[in-house]
Amino acid sequence: MTYNCMTTGDQSELSSWHVTSVQSLSTRPMNKTAMSNARHQSRRGRGHRQKEPGRANRDQLEEQKAEDSVPRGTCMTMCPVCELRQREAQNRLHRFEMVTGTERDRLPRADASRAVKEYSRPAAGKDSTRASDLRPPSVLLNTVCYLVDEIAASSTFQPWTEVYSFVFDRLRSVRQDMIIQRVSGPDCVAVLEKSVRFLLYSSYRLCGQQLQYFDPRINDTHLQECLSWLLESYRDGKHQHQEEYQALSLLYNLGSAEAIQHVLELPERIRSSSAVQLALAVSRAHMERNPVRLLRLAQRLDFIQVCAIHRHLLSCRRDLLLLYSHGHSSRNCRYPLQRLARLLFLKDTLAAELCQVHGVNVTGDWVNFSKSSFTDAASGDVQCRRMHEPLGDEQWNGPADSVIHACV
């Protein structure tokens, strides 16, 4: 404990001394050096204030100059004529771009109505800003619609791994043209929305494929970039499908504090929408490590939302089996397999397979839990691809247009 030993007289004397000292310092004449510095500071301040308007004008002129220097595309076809002729002469056409009947020729002919500009990495000495090689926003949007409706959603183009490779590359080229031209506004949002849906659907449909056909990490990188760009574009104003994509972003990034913070900072009209509220409930169950509630909520999601969340479901099902193995551990306790399958959001056969992989005993239509027999499955023992069946084979292998293009 500290005591104040200063008396009232001491305090008044100290206060009087402080005031006298400050007054003496303020009335003390400055030396020549100090007076010179003061005048210099005063002149600098006046000059700085006088230059502020001029600096603002210069900044405005520089911004206008930078805006005027942005290239504007003039190519009104999906593929520039120069590139089309070059790739045709070098036999670099994709079979989806060839004139029907010439695929087996030594140099197949290009179909100008089907050829799409391919992605090319920026290289030294290569001018990627020529207006004749860049497509304006309206053409870029038409190109994406063609890739989605005529290629990705077609039942004639197979295998779908090749479809994915072609569409993925051409969508990347579309975004490259958008970046060079600094495209924004409704066309930019529409292109990004379709790209997000395609990449989400691809991550679901091609899950488990060999790396030579589908690399989930590369797909995830491009999907995150598209989502980030799309959510940033939504700041410009109101957009029709914003609630849906805010929810998809949160579902895809379950467990991300940054994604949750972003949603909580959204305007009330968006945050209170049914899609965002459901996504927040799923995210909350995931953060609370409540697999039962999460899987029950997952059954209320639509197909594209399941595509967004599917990469988190396998670990969630594992947590549920671990929880039940401890909570229902008994020799004489039997749990109905059909009821467990509904909780796992799986078909009965797949639920039984998942139980056996984790050491949970299944006998006929009954499950016997034991905490001592539960095991963590090795990464290769459970194929995420095989656990996608709750929606049925028809929707799994069905046309992609209802999924990718449904919001347009």
> Tell me: the pLDDT tens digits for 346-389?
989 999 999 998 999 999 999 999 999 999 876 555 678 777 76
Helices (H), 70-122: 81-89
Task: Provide the residue ranges of all domains of the chain, joining segments of one domain with +.
Answer: 72-120+129-239, 314-402
Q: Which residues make Cβ contacts (< 8 Å) with residue 216, sequence separation at least 6?
A: 203, 207
Q: How many CB atoms lie within 10 A of CB 281?
A: 14
32-41, 119-128, 157-166: the lowest-pLDDT one:
32-41
Angle at 276 between CA 273 and CA 280, to 5 degrees: 130
37: number of Cβ within 10 Å? 12
- List pLDDT tens digits, range 266-281: 999 999 999 999 999 9
pLDDT tens digits, 187-198 = 999 999 999 999
What average pLDDT does the segment 207-228 reach? 95
> What are the counts of helices (DSSP H) followed by strands (DSSP E) for the chain?
17, 3
Mean confidence (pLDDT) of the chain: 83
71 close to 131: Cβ distance less than 8 angstroms: yes
- What value does the mean pLDDT take over residues 198-203? 95
In terms of phi and psi (left: phi > 0; alpha: psi -120 to 50; beta: otherwise), the region of 263 is alpha
Number of Cβ within 10 Å of residue 88's Cβ equals 18
Both tokens assigned to 251: 């579902």
* Strands in 28-111 per DSSP E: none
Residue with tokens 């095991």: 375
Beta strand 335-336 with 361-363 is unpaired
Query: How far is Cα 157 from Cα 96, in angstroms, rounded to an integer?
Result: 8
Q: For residues 233-243, give the mean pLDDT.
A: 91
In a 3-state reduction of DSSP, which class is residue 98?
A: strand
pLDDT band, very low/low/confident/very high, at 164 (cuts 50, 70, 90): very high
- Give the torsion sign (CA, 302, 308, 314, 319): negative
Residue 27: which pLDDT band, with cuts at 50, 70 and 90?
very low
C-alpha 197/C-alpha 248 separation (Å) is: 9
Please determine, for residue 68, whether its predicted confidence score (pLDDT) is greater than 90. no
Judged against a pLDDT cut of 80, whether residue 1 lies above it is answered with no
Burial of 122 (0-12, 13-18, 19+ CB in 10 A): exposed
What is the predicted pLDDT for the residue at 403?
Answer: 62
Quickly tell me which residue has 């077609």 as its tokens.
Answer: 154
Prediction pTM value: 0.80
Least confident of 61-70, 158-167, 176-185, 263-272: 61-70
Q: Percent of the chain having pLDDT more than 90?
A: 65
Contacts of 315 (CB under 8 A, 6+ apart): none
